[in-house]
A and B are shown apart, each in its own frame.
Chain A
């Protein structure tokens, strides 16, 4: 347990949660700082949203981290909640995970047997399931330093603050075409996990013209599996995803007109 913000919300009324044993990492100060190398940003296991919000360099290089951090809970949660905890909790409605994915982050998992680095896009195996073994801790998150000429993050909640994401997107376009496709599109709350959307990315790179939001539906349907739940409906999530993509990319991508 790091910031414990997911755990403590229901603590008083969930005796079964109290019966478990927890390992409290919060006093291990080595896990708190984040650091820069020439090629990457290393976020510590205990780095909070607030740590990032206070840092001008991350704002300049990874602006979506700031966009997302500002919209997590309220200041109290931002000052306790951690990026690694957001990954570990595994909610499909996570706000930190989409922007990390949009920046092609990887996760360092450490156990007594050593460390391994896993791309975040391969981390989740299903709803609240991941490749992390029970003897492993997330000890850092690595973001490669690349140039982006476009990035956007949208969180759609049921109100303007203190809301859980009903549908969200994080999109980046890498400058200088290092890869064949410069687009990274991430969607949240529309599948069992926060996920990259390869069909939408391919559609954006294909040169096909997008004249109305519904032109995105074919690729959206290939990428996501939204459901009806207590917070929203599958149909709303799908429609909003199309509308957000359309209005965010209109004029940014030459093909979205």
Chain B
């Protein structure tokens, strides 16, 4: 099946918000811009508006203009919409200005000086804070979590071999192709005026909740619509609430439409990033490499506000022990408050960080024992019936050992190794190596998250017999609409042309949950199937559910009888049976199911420059049933490319706590020339509780490449890299120290 909106994207007919003409509701629109903090922490003394501008022509919004609480609604509501006299990170929004002339606005913005009495910021999450740096509780800890299975200390006391390691990962910018953008305007409604916000987003109901909260309105007077969205990767999970509120506040004050479109440098400097991490491992093993005890400490840089850090930490620690069986596991995690831009959701959501650590650590265990990286995984990979660190019993029929052997066979791993070693004997300055990683990714929200979300999907039968899927799940380039269409058509036995999937609009669609956590096809897809089967059963009048032409005819007939009526069926989430999680003790089924993967990286290191080039990459993934092979392959290849960037080149450079390399020139994402051929293999094992038998695919591809690549670099060069991004600047000293 071709991608639904593929042709309009290909020929440029689909428009991002920035490209939309200022017509219709945007007629007479003003541009909005954001006055930001020039320092990482301090008390605002004054905002000085530059001379030479007629400020009465501008709309200016300060915290006093916020009708409700000055809070961005999320887990703890601790992030203000506009800094109320006190700033906690560089580029924090302080005030808003709007004007019809975008160039004039840009100049006016540059004239504004925010004067701040600085206070000592926390700029390194790894170092315990000094008293004058404390800004939360007594220790700046945002969240602390613990998983405990067995008794690690007892094992350590008598363990024959202990291997320790400390691993670090850096921040990462999403670099979606479309920068954050949002428009807002005021419309008349039956219960008073309605604030309408339309823009680039992953989660329309997150935006709705945020706007309702700070504007003190109910959902009849706030309407959120998604516009065609150019990528998210988590960067449009929570941030759009901020920019939506900014646009709405300006529109309310101006009583005119307002559009805010960030340019790349502003988007990179001011919006969320992947959490930097420090992970310490202490592992007891026997001589065969069997894991006897794993003690793991996970520390995340949370940035200046709580935002999503508690749940990123939660997913991070649950994945920290890897896809391995071990009877004694202690994992302690904490997210630290610092004066950086708040770190937020990013594809993988904490798991890539902890999986990087455990997969590098497994190779280092093998090295210490003098066994192969394959052997240490063969000995420890989970088998069905064994339990994870949260004591979740793994079942479902995927044989992870067979997955590993298949990946080794498909890549001709043994020959690759031999060829690399032969190449290295001959070449004066190039070194080749091969590395592997075995990974897992929990699909859907963690623990009881899906139950709390209580997601809903409506399917409507239209007067002409077609079906319309009504869900808040967003298309952002990953293929939601195409896959939803396929699932609905299959469930109803319809042609795909007879299924509509509209852009989410909170006046029309129920809350099917956020478009995150690899949950859309698996969880929401299943709800679509259930809603269709309910509709078909409803129209079948107690007989067998109608399908295909019979269903279509019945829908048309219903509308003939109930002229002007609305024919809808709704499905609400129910968890699969026997899935139970204790979210106080972190014991039980952390996810309804896991997806599994094996990555093999083949790299070449140039000893002249310490540049690492990935020559070839193979990714074998068990994602349940593949619904659309092209889109699924695209997810795996895209995730791999993003992970290659995170592993090797994407480095945030900070100056005084702010991003200094906030441009595509200096923040180095891979070009097509830096990306190897990526071979994607699927292991199909349908998951009965997922839409079409699918498990999540969005995030798993982000987990394996970084450790596989670093393991390959270690193999190629004999050095022992422990931190990413492994830039040439970071690798060169290791090479210099390696004989």
Contact = CB atoms under 8 A, between A and B. Distances in A.
The number of chain A residues touching the other chain, given as a range, is: 20 to 34
B616 to A, nearest CB: 15
Contacts of A233: 729
Interface string A244-257: 10010010000000
A243 interface: yes
Contact of B728 (A13, A162, A164, A236): A236
A247 B608 contact: yes
Contacts of A114: none
A235 B107 CA distance: 40
A257 to B, nearest CB: 12
Contact of A160 (B607, B613, B727, B733): B613
A230 interface: yes
Interface string A35-63: 00000000000000000000000000000
B681 interface: no
B265 interface: yes
A231 B111 CA distance: 29
Nearest to A13: B263
Contacts of B661: 230
Contacts of A159: 649, 668, 670-671, 673-674
Nearest to A214: B736
Interface string B103-146: 10011001000000000000000000000000000000000000
A176 interface: no
A243 B265 contact: no
B428 A250 contact: yes
Contacts, number: 64
B665 interface: yes
B394 interface: no
Contacts of A158: 649, 668, 727-728
A232 B651 CA distance: 11
B265 A13 contact: yes
A232 B665 contact: no
**Contact-residue bracket for chain B:** 20 to 34
Nearest to A228: B729
Contacts of A239: 732, 736
Interface in A90-122: none
A232 B613 contact: no
Interface in B698-739: 727-729, 732-733, 736
Interface string A192-208: 00000000000000000
Contact of A232 (B110, B671, B729): B729
Contacts of A12: 263
A64 interface: no
Contacts of B653: 230
Interface string B606-640: 01111101000000000000000000000000000
A163 B609 CA distance: 15
Contact of A243 (B263, B609, B673): B609
B666 A231 contact: yes
Contacts of B732: 235-236, 239-240
B438 to A, nearest CB: 28
Contacts of B729: 232-233, 236
B429 interface: yes
Given A230-B653, A233-B729, A240-B732, A247 B428 contact: yes
B660 to A, nearest CB: 6
Contacts of B666: 164, 230-231
Nearest to B613: A160
Contacts of B660: 230
A161 interface: yes
Nearest to B728: A236
A215 to B, nearest CB: 15
A156 interface: yes
Contacts of B674: 159-161
Given A160-B674, A230-B660, A244 B609 contact: yes
A15 B106 contact: yes
Interface string A219-244: 00000000000111101100110011
Interface string A151-188: 00000101111111000000000000000000000000
A160 to B, nearest CB: 4
B611 A156 contact: yes
A239 B733 CA distance: 9
B608 A164 contact: no
A163 B668 contact: yes
B665 A160 contact: no
Given A12-B263, A230-B660, A247-B429, A160 B673 contact: yes
A238 to B, nearest CB: 10
Contacts of B665: 9, 164
A244 B611 CA distance: 12
A240 B429 CA distance: 12
A165 to B, nearest CB: 12
Contact of A240 (B107, B608, B673): B608
Interface of A: 9, 12-13, 15, 156, 158-164, 230-233, 235-236, 239-240, 243-244, 247, 250
19 contacts: A9-B665, A13-B263, A15-B103, A15-B110, A156-B609, A156-B611, A156-B728, A158-B668, A158-B728, A159-B670, A160-B671, A161-B671, A162-B671, A230-B653, A233-B729, A240-B608, A240-B609, A244-B609, A247-B608
Given A156-B728, A158-B728, 16 more contacts: A13-B106, A13-B265, A15-B110, A158-B649, A161-B671, A162-B671, A164-B665, A233-B729, A235-B732, A236-B728, A239-B732, A240-B608, A240-B728, A243-B429, A243-B609, A247-B429
The 9 closest A-B pairs by CB, nearest first: A160-B673, A158-B668, A243-B608, A161-B673, A236-B729, A161-B671, A159-B674, A247-B429, A15-B107
Interface of B: 103, 106-107, 110, 263, 265, 428-429, 607-611, 613, 649, 653, 660-661, 665-666, 668, 670-674, 727-729, 732-733, 736
